[in-house]
């Protein structure tokens, strides 16, 4: 039991797995963007462009960590350590493979609630990242994080409740095994709302407003360099994994496949979501903050509420539950 705990913490779905995912998504996003935008480095720098990612990671790790004189030294130094830990915690709630007990490290009847709480904490940490820098550009980026997250988290969480209402449980393992082709179709509107809101939660284009380089230099990242910057990006990539895996588990049967159940099925579905995200990133301009706020509150939130009504109707009159 003790050995299993350390394996889960250090190897899978723990630290080594998250580091491997971070390197993979960094390479994957650059490679996909390179193919769409005809970028040279990720295409030709090493076998299949792999060395471009290796060199960039090495460059970031060897840069000097600089703390501005006007920054809060404690907050500025602590946040890059705390943020990756909080971003990694939801990993214990997600079913990754049938080889684990119920597929999860921590099996609980309140899995969705736990994910909602842990994902909801992240924006406040990013705000503190900008606040602790004591830089007007960083602070503006932090304020944009709060405005965007509070707007996008509402439809995000309402959409996440759809499977819980339909199946009558918040246990992620039970939701995954209750899903059928019919319930997947019923949940499809909620899945679309969830994925759109997910782009806002993850600050991915066209909602990469808090870190808009042309407007606020680099948002809450502005004053960070070296290892501290790498830790913050590690938290960002980990959150991409967590939120994508949550979407797959809630709406698309998680690690269940057509012919067999495996982590490979879950990973393939996550990669498909990643392809969608990168394609949107490569082909769409960034929205303004006011456009994002209007879209979230005037469209996404009402649609998320209507989706809850649809789920209740489907449960009563289509599934007869």
SS3 41: helix
CA angle 304, 310, 313 (to 5 degrees): 150
Query: What is the reported pLDDT for 188?
Result: 96
Residue 316, judged by CB atoms within 10 A of its CB (0-12, 13-18, 19+), counts as exposed
Closest C-alpha among 211, 213, 223 to residue 76: 223
The dihedral region occupied by 39, where left means phi > 0, alpha psi between -120 and 50, and beta the remainder, is: beta
Rounded to whole angstroms, what are the CA distances from 39 to 23, 34, 36, 52?
19, 4, 8, 11
Query: What is the reported pLDDT for 321?
Result: 63
Rounded to whole angstroms, what are the CA distances from 248 to 81, 271, 273?
28, 10, 9
**Scanning the structure block, which residue is given the tokens 């503006």?**
140
Task: List the structure tokens of 48.
Answer: 């299949």
Phi, psi of 298 (to 5 degrees): -90, -25
Query: What is the reported pLDDT for 259?
Result: 83
- Residue 122 and residue 132 in contact, taking contact as beta carbons nearer than 8 Å: no
Query: What is the reported pLDDT for 189?
Result: 96
CA atoms within 13 A of residue 36's CA, in its CB half-sphere: 15
Low-confidence spans in the chain with pLDDT less than 70? 1-3, 41-43, 101-103, 321
DSSP class of residue 89 equals: G
Task: List the structure tokens of 68.
Answer: 């501005």
- Residue 112 and residue 160 in contact, taking contact as beta carbons nearer than 8 Å: yes
């Amino acid at each position: 039991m003790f050995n299993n705990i350390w394996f889960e913490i250090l190897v899978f779905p723990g630290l080594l797995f998250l580091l491997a995912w971070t390197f993979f998504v960094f390479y994957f996003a650059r490679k996909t963007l390179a193919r769409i935008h005809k970028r040279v480095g990720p295409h030709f720098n090493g076998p299949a462009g792999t060395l471009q990612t290796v060199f960039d990671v090495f460059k970031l790790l060897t840069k000097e960590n600089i703390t501005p004189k006007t920054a809060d030294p404690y907050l500025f130094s602590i946040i890059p350590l705390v943020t990756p830990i909080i971003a990694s915690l939801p990993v214990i709630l997600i079913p990754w493979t049938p080889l684990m007990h119920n597929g999860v490290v921590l099996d609980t009847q309140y899995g969705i609630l736990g994910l909602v709480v842990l994902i909801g904490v992240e924006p406040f940490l990013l705000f503190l990242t900008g606040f602790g820098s004591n830089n007007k550009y960083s602070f503006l980026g932090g304020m944009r994080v709060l405005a965007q997250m509070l707007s996008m988290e509402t439809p995000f969480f309402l959409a996440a409740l759809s499977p819980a209402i339909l199946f009558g449980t918040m246990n992620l393992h039970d939701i995954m095994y209750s899903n059928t082709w019919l319930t997947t179709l019923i949940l499809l509107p909620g899945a679309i709302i969830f994925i759109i809101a997910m782009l806002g939660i993850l600050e991915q284009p066209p909602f990469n407003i808090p870190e808009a380089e042309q407007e606020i230099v680099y948002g809450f990242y502005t004053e960070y360099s070296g290892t501290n910057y790498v830790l913050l990006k590690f938290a960002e990539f980990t959150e991409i994994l967590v939120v994508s895996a949550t979407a797959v588990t809630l709406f698309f049967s998680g690690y269940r496949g057509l012919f067999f159940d495996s982590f490979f099925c879950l990973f393939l579905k996550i990669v498909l979501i990643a392809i969608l995200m990168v394609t949107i990133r490569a082909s769409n301009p960034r929205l303004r903050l006011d456009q994002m706020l209007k879209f979230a509150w005037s469209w996404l939130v009402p649609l998320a509420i209507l989706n809850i009504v649809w789920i209740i109707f489907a449960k009563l009159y289509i599934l007869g539950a």
